[in-house]
Amino acid sequence: SPPVEVASTVGAGDALVAGVLAARLDGNDLETCARRGTAFAAGKLARVGPVPPTPERVAALVGAVRLHPLGNA
């Protein structure tokens, strides 16, 4: 999986929410929304300031996101 270098954590939470919402507005299911939001937040970690990750970086990170069920689900 692509490494995520952390330059700043500022804005990562906002990026996660934005990624989830954008994926949902595109009509995606919850799993896809979680993957895209996580990838968007991970991509934001490498950038300082109000600079989002590139679409190419997000696409590369989406495949590296692993989801695991919690509890007895």
Q: 69 lies in a domain?
A: no
Q: 2 lies in a domain?
A: no
Q: 32 lies in a domain?
A: yes
Helix axes of 55-62 and 30-45: crossing angle, nearest 10 degrees: 120
Q: 25 lies in a domain?
A: yes
**From the candidates 4, 10, 12, 14, which is the catalytic residue?**
14
Q: 17 lies in a domain?
A: yes
Please give the pLDDT value at position 2: 56
Please give the pLDDT value at position 48: 94
Q: 73 lies in a domain?
A: no
Q: How many domains does the chain have?
A: 1
Structural domain span for residue 59 = 12-64
Q: 5 lies in a domain?
A: no
The structure's pTM equals 0.87
Q: 1 lies in a domain?
A: no
Q: Between 73 and 61, name the one with better pLDDT.
A: 61
Told to judge if 29 belongs to the known catalytic residues of this protein, a careful annotator would answer: no
- pLDDT higher than 80, residue 22: yes
The mean per-residue pLDDT over the stretch 9-23 comes to 96
